[in-house]
């Protein structure tokens, strides 16, 4: 096998639907169709003919997506089966054997695995916790060279929730431009900001930009499996050619529901609901951390649906996650799955009552760990 096992996705898929309390999700509590759509909109779905549709996405949907960016039209958008397929197609479109890719870390590590599978060379530049998770742009500049084909960004970032400043984005563009590298930005959390200010896109800042987005995270519609790529017309056409060899097309029903969801008033309603949920749950998790006597620390996220925190407990993060799941029915993401032991990622985009209950259970588990450690020292 030429591709490594994607630990985060594999382990989540094994257990996330079998535990009472799943805090591994990084998005928001999903909508039901009844919550999301009016009766008139649902009746439109009743009358739809379930054919294939246009394989790069319906024209009305691609126009809605294009409107989210500056100076884009529908020919510069490709609709995919989630942003995961978008990442796969983008890497196969842009990269060749021995290309170098400099990737923001910590990050959703799918791209790292795809880069290796393609025979390209991944390198990491880091977000620094001691700088509130701001990027080390001097490190980025030192890693980039004439072999660098792509700089891979996640903004807002998964798992830290950091959002790049305008100055940081401009400096990344300057670094890419010096060597003619592509900027590939995962913008799946754009729209899920604590301060209600929508994150700027790299689209329009530089000629060689390709971004991905989708409805799984900021829009709380993961079951639609609806994502997209946006960029220049030629690159999107090339990506469509690869898409013909993967899933060919996304589902017609998903495309129609996505079209409804991205209607401006509906979009605002969705994002406002999720931002309010994020702020409420961020307050809950902050109060919980404040009661832990320094055992947990985190930089509050600026966006996204997760809290990435370090812990001062003598246990490996994967073992920590396994123990919580097996003994308490509570599932959290191990820092190991990001290559960062000593950290955990806790989803804070779910229902507030469920989060409170889960944290109470977490507290019981921590007390048991403390009692066990105390007995070992006697």
CATH topology of domain 37-263: 3.40.640
Q: Which two tokens stand for residue 361?
A: 């259970």
Domain spans of the chain?
7-31+267-369, 37-263
Q: pLDDT tens digits, residue range 20-59?
A: 999 999 999 999 999 999 999 999 999 999 999 899 999 9
Residue 375 confidence (pLDDT): 57
Q: Which two tokens stand for residue 302?
A: 């600026």
Looking at 3.30.930.10, 3.40.50.720, 3.40.50.150, 3.90.1150.10, the CATH number of the domain 7-31+267-369 comes to 3.90.1150.10
Tens digit of pLDDT at every position of the chain (378 positions): 577 777 777 878 777 788 899 999 999 999 999 999 999 999 999 999 999 989 999 999 999 999 999 999 999 999 999 999 999 999 999 999 999 999 999 999 999 999 999 999 999 999 999 999 999 999 999 999 999 999 999 999 999 999 999 999 999 999 999 999 999 999 999 999 999 999 999 999 999 999 999 999 999 999 999 999 999 999 999 999 999 999 999 999 999 999 999 999 999 999 999 999 999 999 999 999 999 999 999 999 999 999 999 999 999 999 999 999 999 999 999 999 988 999 999 999 999 999 999 999 999 999 888 766 655 554
Q: pLDDT tens digits, residue range 70-86?
A: 999 999 999 999 999 99
d(CA 114, CA 292): 39
d(CA 48, CA 301): 41
Question: Token pair 């009358």 is at which residue?
Answer: 47
Residue 15 confidence (pLDDT): 76
Question: Token pair 């009746």 is at which residue?
Answer: 43
Residue 371 confidence (pLDDT): 64
Tell me the DSSP string of 1-54.
--S---HHHHHHHHHTTTSSEE----S-PPPPHHHHS-HHHHHHHHT-------
Alpha helices in 222-351 (DSSP H): 233-243, 252-261, 264-290, 317-328
């Amino acid at each position: 096998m030429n591709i490594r096992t994607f630990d985060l996705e594999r382990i989540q898929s094994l257990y996330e639907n079998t535990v009472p309390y799943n805090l591994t999700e990084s998005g928001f509590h999903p909508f039901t169709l009844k919550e999301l759509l009016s009766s008139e909109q649902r009746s439109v779905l009743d009358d739809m003919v379930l054919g294939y549709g246009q394989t790069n996405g319906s024209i009305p949907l691609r126009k809605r997506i294009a409107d989210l960016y500056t100076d884009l039209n529908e020919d510069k958008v490709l609709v995919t089966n989630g942003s995961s397929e978008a990442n796969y197609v983008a890497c196969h479109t842009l990269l060749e054997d021995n290309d170098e890719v400099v990737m923001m870390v910590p990050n959703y590590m799918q791209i790292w695995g795809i880069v290796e599978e393609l025979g390209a060379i991944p390198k990491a530049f880091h977000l620094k916790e001691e700088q509130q998770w701001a990027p080390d742009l001097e490190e980025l500049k030192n890693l980039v060279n004439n072999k660098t084909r792509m700089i891979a960004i996640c903004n807002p970032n998964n798992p830290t929730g950091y959002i790049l400043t305008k100055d940081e984005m401009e400096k990344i563009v300057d670094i890419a431009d010096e060597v003619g590298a592509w900027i590939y930005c995962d913008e799946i959390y754009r729209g899920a900001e604590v301060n209600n200010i929508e994150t700027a896109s790299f689209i329009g800042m530089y000629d060689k930009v390709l971004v991905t987005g989708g409805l799984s995270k900021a829009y709380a519609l993961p079951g639609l499996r609806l994502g997209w790529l946006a960029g220049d017309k030629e690159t999107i056409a090339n990506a469509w050619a690869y898409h013909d060899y993967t899933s060919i097309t996304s589902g017609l029903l998903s495309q129609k529901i996505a079209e409804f969801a991205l209607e401006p008033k509906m979009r605002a309603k969705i994002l406002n609901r999720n931002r309010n949920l994020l702020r409420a749950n961020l307050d809950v998790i902050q109060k919980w951390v404040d009661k832990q006597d320094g055992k947990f620390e985190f930089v509050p996220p600026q966006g996204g649906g997760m809290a990435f925190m370090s812990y001062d407990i003598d246990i490996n993060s994967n073992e920590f996650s396994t123990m919580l799941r097996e003994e308490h029915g509570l599932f959290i993401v191990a820092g190991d799955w990001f290559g960062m032991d000593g950290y955990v990622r806790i989803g804070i985009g779910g229902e507030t009552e469920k989060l409170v209950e889960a944290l109470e259970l977490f507290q019981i588990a921590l007390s048991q760990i403390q009692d066990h450690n105390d007995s070992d020292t006697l």
